[in-house]
Amino acid sequence: MDRHDYGAIYDILLKNSSTCSLMVDLNGKIILFNDAYANLIGYTVEEIKQHDFRVYISDSAYDREIGFINQLTQGEKSDIKFRSSRVAKGGRVLQVDVTAILFRDADNQPEFVLKRIEDVTSTIQSEEIHKNQLHYLQTMLEQIPLSIYFKDKQSRFITNSLTHIKMLGGESFEDVSGKTDFDFFDPIHAQQAFDDEQYIMATGKTISKEESMTLKNGSIRWGQTIKTILRDTNGEVTGTYGITSDITEIKLAEEKLNQLNEQLSAKNKELESTLEELSNTQNKLIFSEKMAALGNLIGGIAHEINTPLGAIKASSTNINDVVEKINVDLPWLINHASTDEINWLFNLINDSDARDISVFSKDERQKKRDLTALLEKNNIENAISIADTIVTLRLNKTDEEYLEFLSLPNAQILLQMLKVLFSLKRNANNIYISVEKASHVVRALKNYIHKNNSGTKESANLVETIETVLILTANMLKNNKIEVITQFEKVPLLFCRQDEICQVWTNLITNAVQAMDQGGTLEIGIKSKDDEHILVWFKDSGSGICPETAKHIFEPYFTTKETGIGTGMGLDISRQIVENHHGRIYFETTTDQGTTFFVEIPLNQDQKLPN
């Protein structure tokens, strides 16, 4: 058949048909097609004509359709219907029903096949969705661990989840179908459920609540229930449906948890009381240890105060003697001395140095010899005594000025008066120095026994805390012939409990002195270890700590001292104090070379320094 004949057939069979139709040869190649088919697959007529392409999803799909054509050509049937697919332009897959009709020529030989194609994609998808929905619903009802139930207007069960059926005591849907809550629950719960469902159908509102459910066998279950209205496809009310989550185990756990919380609360109160009692005991222990350490130092502190008091008493007696002499000399000075002599007297007393000289230095001895020679050369009487007075007073005049003064008529008398006034000046200076020394000891003692009753930390200079303890232990250090070497760098102020920190320094210094056994060197240093920590160390030149003792050094009540000398609590309390300041205390020791204790305290404490 030529093209013209195909055109005529096209006009008859395809052109005016609204059905998607096409003609293919016996090998499946497209001969003619109508616009409906072109629109279905999305290609234009020109695109189809210019390209030798197939719109099958795979080669096997193409071969399958060729197989159907072969069945027609080899059999007696003139048509065959089958389901297939097409790939439209853009890659969208279409599901189609194909009706293939075989046309023969005048000799009854197969000539071409007419295919009529119907797009059934949406129908298949709809059927598949419906099928899947039913499958999903069935799966949900069988497997989801929730009580799901549908009821009619009389609150009779229509369908239920397997979980709900088993909760009611059944095994299959037939065990609950058509029954109500009155068949499974006590009357009170069943009636409440019925009333809720009637309310839902009357108002269209949803109910959500936590409820207790008592079954007829007496067991109690708890559920978190939500119920709402059930309508058919036309929107007519047909009943209700609900979902109940079994929270019985949760409720039991809550009750158990409440009981445990009550028990825990009681335990916490008991623990708080115990901790408070323990804290009070610990504070008493720390304070008691501090007082014990202070008791060991009190003799030395008393000596440090008595020494300046004795100096003050002696200087006061001397001042009384000087005042009596002044009562005699002052009238003479007023009645007999010239203005120049009075000016010389007060100029020299102001120039004198009141610091005590117990022994002349080499330079001072040489100065005395030179002055004596000068005075003897100029025929000055009492040259040796005058030279001794000048050096003792530490006068700083030229030779010419000394000779000018000694040429005055009453120079010898003025020198005696000068010695009296100088004695008054020196004794007054001794009193001042002694008062300052006693004041330092009292201030150090006050700082040491200071107790911060609020328990809060306060700003403190760690260098000053060490110096406070050194003042209080000065007599012990001196009596034990301990040389103290300090290396104090400038460090930031630290928020701490100052009285407790002083106690740590006292313990470490006392232990170091005892470790050196009559003589040695104690090095004390402080520096910023880094931007976040301050490091303090105490290095003694003692015999070191043996390995066995080192294992127990921070254990409470462990001591190497004789009975009655040590409690064994000093280092343990020191460790507690340092750890309460978020720091750490540790040591390094070498046999026959000594021990160094390190205290490392972080700057970042509970509080910040004020602006």
Residue 584 in this model has a pLDDT that exceeds 50: yes
Would you say the C-alpha torsion 270, 271, 272, 274 has a positive or negative sign? positive
Give the DSSP letter of residue 379: T
Q: Round to whole Å and give the CA distance between 148 and 226.
A: 10
Structure tokens at 310: 């004795």
Q: How far is CA 247 from CA 10, 143, 161, 212, in A?
A: 72, 18, 17, 10
Question: Of 99-103, 152-156, 239-243, 514-518, where does mean pLDDT reach its minimum?
Answer: 514-518
At residue 105, the pLDDT reads 85
What angle (nearest 5°) sits at the alpha carbon of residue 53, between those of residues 50 and 57? 150
**Which string of DSSP letters, residue by residue, matches 474-534?**
HHHHHHTTEEEEEEE-----EEE-HHHHHHHHHHHHHHHHHHH-S-EEEEEEEEESSSSEE
Q: Is 288 helix (H, G, I), strand (E, B) or coil?
A: helix
Give every strand in the sheet of 220-231, ordered side by side. Answer: 157-160, 147-152, 237-246, 220-231, 207-214
Question: pLDDT above 90 covers what percent of the chain?
Answer: 21
Q: Is 110 helix (H, G, I), strand (E, B) or coil?
A: strand
| 8 Å CB contact between 117 and 97 | yes
Alpha helices per DSSP H over 177-232: 187-203
Q: Chain-centre distance of CA 202, in angstroms? A: 58
Residue 224 in this model has a pLDDT that exceeds 80: yes
| 8 Å CB contact between 314 and 387 | no
| 8 Å CB contact between 465 and 502 | yes
Would you say the C-alpha torsion 377, 381, 383, 387 has a positive or negative sign? negative
Residues 524-562 as b or e (16 or more Cβ within 10 Å = b): bbbeeeeeebbbbbbbbbbbbbeeeeeeebbebeebeee
At residue 4, the pLDDT reads 46
Residues in CB range of 237: below 8 A, 6 or more apart: 153, 201, 229, 230, 231
Long-range contacts of 564-569 (CB under 8 A, 24+ apart): 567/289, 567/292, 569/285, 569/289
Per residue in 60-76, pLDDT (tens digit) is 888 898 899 899 988 87
- Read off the pLDDT of each residue in 395-420 and give the average, rounded to a whole number: 80
Greatest mean pLDDT among 118-122, 200-204, 301-305 lies in: 200-204
Q: Round to whole Å and give the CA distance between 558 and 213.
A: 66
Give the DSSP letter of residue 547: H
Closest C-alpha to 80, from 97, 95, 96, 63: 97
Residue in this structure with the two tokens 């009753």, named with its chain if needed: 453
Q: Round to whole Å and give the CA distance between 491 and 526.
A: 8
What angle (nearest 5°) sits at the alpha carbon of residue 6, between those of residues 54 and 95? 30
At residue 433, the pLDDT reads 65
Read off the pLDDT band of 609 (50, 70, 90). very low
Read off the pLDDT band of 500 (50, 70, 90). confident
Mean pLDDT of all residues belonging to the chain:
81
What angle (nearest 5°) sits at the alpha carbon of residue 27, between those of residues 46 and 85? 70
Q: Round to whole Å and give the CA distance between 121 and 41.
A: 13
Q: How far is CA 363 from CA 210, 367, 391, 471, in A?
A: 105, 6, 10, 34
Residue 562 in this model has a pLDDT that exceeds 60: no
Per residue in 281-297, pLDDT (tens digit) is 666 666 666 655 555 55
Structure tokens at 123: 């129908």
Question: pLDDT above 70 covers what percent of the chain?
Answer: 81
Residue 335 in this model has a pLDDT that exceeds 90: no
Q: Round to whole Å and give the CA distance between 586 and 539.
A: 12
Closest C-alpha to 64, from 53, 80, 43: 80
Which amino acid makes up residue 209? K
Task: List phi, psi (to 5°) of 572.
Answer: -65, -45
Does residue 539 come out as left (phi exceeding 0), alpha (psi in the -120 to 50 range) or beta? beta
Read off the pLDDT band of 560 (50, 70, 90). low
Rg of the chain over all Cα atoms, to the nearest angstrom? 58
Q: Round to whole Å and give the CA distance between 579 and 586.
A: 11
Q: Round to whole Å and give the CA distance between 356 and 359.
A: 9
Q: Round to whole Å and give the CA distance between 545 and 559.
A: 12
Closest C-alpha to 510, from 546, 473, 479, 549: 473
| 8 Å CB contact between 380 and 405 | no
- What is the greatest pairwise CA distance in the chain? 179
Tabulate helix, strand, coil % of the chain (nearest 5). Answer: 55, 20, 25
Q: Round to whole Å and give the CA distance between 268 and 489.
A: 46
CB count within 10 Å of CB 580 equals 14
Element (H, E) at 347: helix 339-351
Per residue in 43-64, pLDDT (tens digit) is 887 777 765 566 888 888 888 9
Residue in this structure with the two tokens 């919380």, named with its chain if needed: 261
Q: Are strands 482-488 and 520-528 parallel, antiparallel or unpaired?
A: parallel
At residue 441, the pLDDT reads 63
CB count within 10 Å of CB 296 equals 15
Read off the pLDDT band of 608 (50, 70, 90). very low
Closest C-alpha to 577, from 272, 275, 271, 285: 285
Label each residue of 384-417 as H, E or C.
Answer: HHHHHHHHHCCCCCCHHHHHHHHCCCCHHHHHHH
Which amino acid makes up residue 342? I
